[in-house]
Structure 1
Amino acid sequence: MEGRATFEAFGGKPGLVAIMDDFMIGLVADPRTTQFFNNDKQAFIKAMLVEQMCELMNGGCQYTGRDMKSTHARMKVNREGFNALVEQFQLAMDKHNVPFSAQNKLLAKLAPMYRDVESTTGDAVPPKAATN
């Protein structure tokens, strides 16, 4: 899938927003990720995720958030938390019938971000306590 084909497989921006709605519900419900997402920044986080995914899939959006390293620097995200996030994302994509090939295309772009998200030092600071 080249160009916007992956984006269209996600249902365009409306489909991406619906997927992110379910993704956030899953992240809040999952005990491995709830500390980072069960807060007053859910709407902001979701909006940033929609922008980021849309841009990564050539959907015509521009990501206006911070880089992944500074965003997650104080959160102490480990591999278990990152993998839980990926699991919840896959569940949300499956629920919305995103083709497996499109899922893999996006996940391949997201996987290298783990290096910038992982932080094994310091105390975990959920987003509601961290600054933007």
Structure 2
Amino acid sequence: MSNALKVLLACTLLAGGCAQSVQSPQSLYAELGGQAGIDRIVDGLLWEIAEDAEIRALFADTDIQRFRNKLAEQLCAVSDGPCVYTGDSMRETHRHLAVTSAQFNRLVDDLIRVMERERIATGAQNALLQRLAAMRGDIVAE
């Protein structure tokens, strides 16, 4: 075998090996566990809200089933999943609630606790929280 052929073969093998070891980054939706993972996060968050006296009152007049469905839809959409959020705007939804920064932060803490229990990777948690943080101005009344 000629040296040129050996070099070509070696380059082909190395390039093929490298191509196989490079993985496409997962979407945030996939990192959250797809729809099943998002459903578990939402259900866990509902339990956290029910147990959290500081924020539970904000949901007193809420249709919980609709809230659950729209939150799952929103998390799916914001994480680049196949969903389209069809609910009301965050500004419209929260305009009459007078949500404080402390209440907003409590809900974020509750969400983090749920994601930790679901063993969502820290990077995926941070990515989701960053996307949701963009909505803060439409939610908090202060």
Tell me the TM-score normalised to structure 2 length.
0.79
SS at 1:32 equivalent:
helix
Percent identical among aligned pairs is 29
Residue of structure 1 in register with 2:109 after alignment: 87
CA–CA separation in structure 1 for the residues paired with 2:62 and 2:102? 24
What CA distance in whole angstroms lies between the structure 2 residues aligned with 1:115 and 1:40?
A: 21
CA distance in 2, matches of 1:38, 1:29: 13
Q: Which one of 50, 68, 88 corresponds to residue 46 of structure 1? A: 68
More helix by share: 2
CA shift digits 1:48-80 (9 cap, x unpaired): 111111001111001000110011000010000
Q: Kindly tell me: are residues 60 and 53 of structure 1, through their superposed partners in 2, closer, same or farther at Cα, counting changes over 3 Å? A: same
Equivalences, count: 119
Question: Deviations for 1:58-113, whole angstroms, at most 9, x for unmatched residues?
Answer: 11001000110011000010000000010010011111000000010111111121
Kindly name which structure, 1 or 2, has the bigger radius of gyration based on alpha carbons. Answer: 2
Is residue 96 of structure 2 the alignment partner of residue 74 of structure 1? yes
Q: Which runs of no fewer than 5 residues in structure 1 stay unpaired?
A: 121-132
One-letter amino acid matched to 2:73: E
Q: Which has the higher contact order (CA 8 A, sep 6+)?
A: 1
Give the TM-score normalised by the residue count of structure 1: 0.84
CA 1:73–1:40 in structure 2 vs 1: closer, same or farther (change >3 Å)? closer
Shift >2 Å, 4+ stretches: 37-40
Is 1:20 paired with 2:42? yes
Identify the match of residue 52 of structure 2 among 16, 30, 39: 30
Aligned to 2:140: 118
The match for 2:127 among 89, 100, 105 is 105
- C-alpha distance 38-28 of structure 1, shift in aligned 2 (>3 A): farther
1:39, distance to aligned residue in structure 2 (A): 5.1
Secondary structure of residue in 2 paired with 1:65: coil
| Cα pair 1:6 1:57 within 8 Å, conserved | yes
**Unmatched 5+ residue regions in structure 2?**
1-23
